Amino acid sequence: MSRYAGLEMGGTKTIAVLGTPGAIIDRVEFPTTSPEETLAIAAHHIAAWHREASIRALGIASFGPVRLDTAARDFGTILDTPKPGWRGTRIVDAIAEVFGGPLQLDTDVNAAALAEARIGAGQGLHTLIYLTIGTGVGGGVLINGKPFHGVMHPEIGHMRLRRAADDSFAGICPFHGGCVEGLVSGPALQARFGVHPSTVALDDPRWGLVASDLAELFANLLCAFSPQRIIVGGGVSVHQPHLLRMAIDHLPERLGGYLGPVTGADLRSRIVPAQLGNDAGPTGSLYLAMAAAGD
Q: What percent of the chain has pLDDT over 90?
A: 78
Model confidence at 251, in pLDDT bands (50, 70, 90)? very high
CB 87 within 8 A of CB 81: yes
Q: What is the pLDDT of residue 261?
A: 66
pLDDT in tens, 190-201: 999 999 998 999
pLDDT in tens, 70-99: 999 999 999 988 888 999 999 999 899 899
Give the separation between CA 77 and CA 91, rounded to whole angstroms: 6
User: What is the DSSP annotation of 108-145?
Assistant: HHHHHHHHHHHHSTTTT-SSEEEEEESSSEEEEEEETT
* Total H helices, total E strands in the chain: 10, 10
pLDDT in tens, 213-250: 999 999 999 999 999 999 999 888 788 889 999 999 99
CB 236 within 8 A of CB 134: yes
CB 188 within 8 A of CB 181: yes
Architecture per CATH, domain 4-111+278-293, reads as 2-Layer Sandwich (3.30)
Q: Provide mean pLDDT across the span 204-212.
A: 95
List, by residue range, all CATH 3.30.420.40 domains of the chain. 4-111+278-293, 122-274
First to last CA, the chain: 12
Q: Provide mean pLDDT across the span 271-293.
A: 95
- In one letter, which amino acid is 121? A
Q: Where are the alpha helices (DSSP H) in 79-226?
A: 91-96, 108-119, 180-184, 186-193, 206-225
What is the dotted CATH code of the domain comprising 122-274? Answer: 3.30.420.40
Which helix (H) or strand (E) covers residue 20, if one does?
strand 13-20
Nearby residues of 183 by Cβ (< 8 Å), 6 or more positions away = 161, 169, 171, 192, 210, 213
CB 92 within 8 A of CB 103: yes
Q: What is the pLDDT of residue 38?
A: 97
Q: Is the pLDDT of residue 262 over 80?
A: no
Model confidence at 20, in pLDDT bands (50, 70, 90)? very high
